[in-house]
Amino acid sequence: MIEVLLVQASLPRPAPRTSSRTSSRISSRLASRPAAATLLAIALAAVGLGPAASPAAAATIPAGSGSYTDTRPAGTSGPTTNTGTPVTPKVTAAARDKPVPTNDWWSSLAFQRYGDNPYSTPMYGHPLTYQAKANGLEVGYPTTPAIVGDGRQYEYAHKADLTVGLTGLNSPDTKADAWSDWTVTPYWADGSRTFRATIGHGMPFVYAKGSGGDARITTASTPTVFSDQGNVVGITVAGHHYALFAPTGSDWNISGTTITAGLGSKDYFSLAVLPSTDALATYRKYAFSFVTGSQVSWQTTGGNVRATYTLTTEAREGTERGTLQALYRHQWLHTSDALTPYTYVSPRGTMKVRESASFTTSQRNNGVVPALPAASGVDRARLTGYLNEVANASDPFSGARDTYWTGKALGKLAQLVPVADQIGQTAVRDKLLGLMKGRMQEWFTAGGASEFSYDKDWKTLTGYPASYGSDTELNDHHFHYSYYVYAAAIIAQYDPAWAADSAWGTMVKHLIRDTANPSRTDAAYPFLRGFDVYAGHSWASGHQGFAAGNNQESSSESINLSAGLVLWGAATGDNSLRNLGSYLLTTESEAITQYWFDANEQVFPASYRYGTVGMVWGSGASYSTWWTANPEEIHGINVLPVTGGSLHLAREKAAIKRNIAEMERENGGPAQEWRDLLWEFEALSDPASAKAKWDGVNGNYTPEEGESKAHTYHWITTLDTLGAPDMTVSGDLPTSAVFSKNGTRTYTAHNHGSTTRTVTFSDGKTLSVPARSTATSTGPGGGDPDPDPDPGTPSTGNTFRLKTGGVLTTATTDPAGADTIASADGVNRDGTPYRPNVYEIKRVNGKVSAGAATAFRLRVDAGTRVGLAPQVRVSYDLTGDGTFDRTETFRYFATDPVNGWEEYTQAAGVQATTGSLGELKNGTVRLEIWNALGNGTSQVQTGTDAAVLRIPYA
């Protein structure tokens, strides 16, 4: 079926954007259902896939050995309204020559998808939501989720609490006037008045500038005034608290639902949503520190990815240049920067407020490898047979003609090239490379049946034949082109000359610039078109023309582009692109973990019955895809394609197990249609279970269109032999990975360079990797004596196990045990240790590791007792003098009333810190754990790899 996601009644309900995952098998299944087939045809027509008038003759632009055109092929379309009328970017004259970042949270300001709506659809900045109207900007703060769409979707839909504008404003349209990495300034003009409002992700403020009228706030209902200080007013509307700030000397006048203030000689005012009424004084401090821009910077060093998010401001009054920012969960989980007690509700869980114009996150780099390493369990004869099935197929591209399905076929072949090379099947390897080169060169040469065309208005490169609105709606470019970039990276690994700029590399770089341009000054393409640096993930719709905001279904195809950038950058010696790929992949990995899989079970509303979603929207998320309600595809769409960039999914092994279990419950049994994808997914957590399912079928199944038996067999068998990825260890080369099984780690890395490279892993292991080669080595570490497989084990050296008796130790031979955690005696002990279990180690020496942070992994169990919550504090006495110089208190972990161990980690988040880290010289490290809530005892495991503390020291 085609599933139409619910949108607000205030807008027309568009047919769904048929996204780029429809398979030939799905199409044939739909064709057997007349009603569904009719819906598919209607949806395809609605996204404007019909022909347009023939354009003028195209010019051909050389690009190395390739070329593209500057005019679309005859009979094709570019961006249009929903009725097929061509559109150009809706921007002011000041922004006319600046590439528009389509596929953003605010893209409907610039892309008029619906001809009768020249303003915008709802835009979800979080915590605030917005919608442009003729009289100004609607502002809302949705805090109560609704479960809609037959229970499949949760949403915090936009509902205006107030509208901000000028008296008399009645603009015929709204345009995008300026934008930066995560902020935008809409513009209104009606001939007598002009109005601008700067808004953004994480911004509790709206900064307004206008001329020709007084400041005007129109509330949705009569407001309650909780503070009136003349030019500063605090009001409550629909249960939400707002502060209104007019220039000094002005005075707000409240009459029913209309609030106005004369601006005098000034042209500015602002408003803020408050987390509580007592926050007014803090927010007032920043009322006139107007945000003028936003920018992220990143660096990848020593196995870590650090990113700094900075707002630029100007003081409209006084000298204050600071501001307040609300951090998403994927951000505050990975920052050690101080946060205020203030929080907001959002569809992504709790947002936490920082009082500063910048903050920094630090995450362990998620490595990418061209292929899993060689493993003894792989039967080479059997694998060779599977490889030949693909290489010798009558049509290895399965009839693909458009950009998406050609890309899928290229991706399937690309996965097999290093596998064939690994087992010495060089003839098969070279045949696959030849197939990939030939098809890509067809696309990279203008004038044939397939080509790329550049649109100078939208500053985008579109492949024709297009599909799924990649032309008319600018959808999914990052999905489609991810396969080309990844395939090109594999070719470059074996044939660097092919990837040279003078050959085919320039065309590959055009695809990269179109989808993930790292430059903010490139006049031909926007900065990171589809990737929302603050939201932490990409968006798929080019126009954002839905009441639910923008959306992304296949987060894994977005990851595929990032993995391709890592491999392309490494293969071509472009470390800046390689590091960009690492930043995008590592950032989006955490967003996927939290917002698609709800791995910590802290994001989805309690009333939502699903544990994973197929699609994330600005307003929430849904258990659905664009083309089917089949649970296998809902779960599998955020897995495919399975590549060496998919290892990041292994970070949350318990979430994978819950995901698979939910799929089987909803499916009424194990997967059948996309079984290979879901086996490969399961193998990242429980390789033995996945291998048993593979063995049970014994190769008698039909692969998913982007998969092959050769790749699935190699993937599952290799992980069954080596163990699942160990994501607690990272290498200082982005093309490296670690696997762990039964106490043994396997380290692997690929060196694309021309000289031998020594890779150092975060557990101290080193690996010498010859030039243009893959190297593999094993060593002690990892493993898990618990029958529930979880090979992700921290290292020794800077990692200590909890030992019964109050000891932290680097020993790995202590027997498993358990210590009792005392009851909180029915009193709230949150943040203050109460009869804690104390584990300590003395005479520790070490230097702080840049970008690292305290981490722990503990197993706790409250049995059947209700309402218990163990809490951890880690303290550092830097000199061993008895005074702790640094303490870090983590948020408590609410245990369930079910017998069995639960995992408590630093991912719960830091609640409070005091002091600073510094060099440990004969110092002391202490971990305390106590029950913050409840009236009963619980237990913490000791003496195992699941009872560990890792300190941020070398």
DSSP assignment of 737-806 equals: EEEEETTEEEEEEEE-SSS-EEEEBTTS-EEEE-TTEEEEEEEE----SSSS-------SSSEEEEETTT
DSSP 811-831: -S-PPPEEEEEPP-TTS--TT
Q: Between vectors from CA 906 to CA 900 and to CA 910, what angle results, nearest 5°?
A: 130
Q: Give me 215's structure tokens.
A: 């400041």
Q: List, by residue number, the catalytic residues.
A: 476, 553, 557
Q: Which of 626, 655, 589 is closest to 39 using CA atoms? A: 626
CB-based contacts of 432, cutoff 8 Å, min separation 6: 390, 391, 413, 416, 417, 420
Strands 205-211 and 268-274, by their bridges, are antiparallel
The contacts of residue 669 (CB under 8 Å, 6+ apart) are none
b/e map of 183-217 (b: 16 or more CB within 10 Å)? Answer: bbbbbbbbeebbbbbbbbbbbbbbbbbbebbbbbb
Q: Are 481 and 513 in contact (CB under 8 A)?
A: no
**d(C-alpha 728, C-alpha 349), whole Å:** 25
Tokens encoding 833: 């240790």
- Residue 179's H or E segment, with its range, is strand 174-179
Short-list 802, 803, 834, 855, CA closest to 930: 834
Burial of 428 (0-12, 13-18, 19+ CB in 10 A): buried
Residue with tokens 């029913």: 256
Query: Residue 260 and residue 217: Cα distance in Å, rounded?
Result: 6
Q: How far is CA 550 from the centre of its chain?
A: 14
Q: How many CB atoms lie within 10 A of CB 657?
A: 17
- Please state, in angstroms and rounded to a whole number, the distance separating the CA atoms of residues 401 and 443: 10
Q: Which of these, 903, 875, 901, lies nearest to 887 by C-alpha position? A: 875
Q: Name the DSSP class of 620.
A: E
| Rg of the chain, C-alpha, whole Å | 28
Q: How many CB atoms lie within 10 A of CB 502?
A: 9
Q: What is the rounded CA–CA span in Å between residue 649 and residue 646?
A: 6
Q: Taking a C-beta distance cutoff of 8 angstroms, is the pair 419, 387 a contact?
A: yes
Distance, CA of 632 to chain centre: 22
User: What phi and psi values does residue 425 have, to the nearest 5 degrees?
Assistant: -90, 70
Q: Which of 848, 857, 932 is closest to 886 using CA atoms?
A: 848
CA 80 to each of CA 153, 466, 733: distance values in angstroms, whole numbers, following the listed order: 29, 14, 44
Largest CA distance in the chain: 84
Terminal CA-CA length for the chain = 55
Residue listed under structure tokens 């024709």: 464
